[in-house]
């Protein structure tokens, strides 16, 4: 199992994208999410990209991933997405 933690250290909502599935998980300021896959850490399972729309975690060698909040609760696709997010 591999994990990548991402935290929002900005003053605004930030989107964490899990690719290649394109799922969006919105973080409030100060929140931390963890992306988890069943891939072994030796297989370099993640690439992280910061861009104008948020942060993308590319899962390179797994068929699925899950995103969890700081307390271990699932943060499914669309988690905390605002109605005006443009989707």
Residue 54 lies in a domain: yes
Domain contains 85 = no
Question: Does 87 map to a domain?
Answer: no
- When divided into structural domains, the chain yields a total of 1
For residue 37, being part of any structural domain is answered with yes
Query: Could you tell me if residue 84 is inside a domain?
Result: no
pLDDT at position 60 is: 86
| 59: its two tokens | 């899962």
| pTM of the predicted model as reported, rounded to 2 decimal places | 0.87
DSSP code per residue over 53-64: TEEEEEE-S-S-
Model confidence over 62-87: pLDDT tens digits? 778 999 999 999 999 999 998 886 66
d(CA 42, CA 5): 17
Residue located via tokens 């669309």? 78
Domain with 27, as residue range(s), is 2-69
14 in a structural domain? yes
Is the backbone peptide bond immediately before 74 cis, with ω within 30 degrees of 0? no
pLDDT tens per residue, range 29-64: 999 999 999 877 777 789 999 998 899 999 987 778
């Amino acid at each position: 199992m591999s994990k990548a933690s991402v935290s929002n250290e900005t003053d605004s909502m930030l989107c964490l994208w899990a690719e290649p599935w394109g799922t969006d998980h919105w973080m409030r300021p100060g929140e931390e999410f963890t992306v988890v896959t069943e891939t072994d850490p030796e297989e370099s399972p993640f690439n992280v990209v910061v861009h104008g729309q948020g942060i993308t975690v590319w899962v390179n060698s797994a068929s699925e991933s899950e995103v969890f909040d700081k307390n271990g609760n699932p943060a499914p696709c669309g988690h905390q997405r605002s109605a005006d997010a443009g989707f």
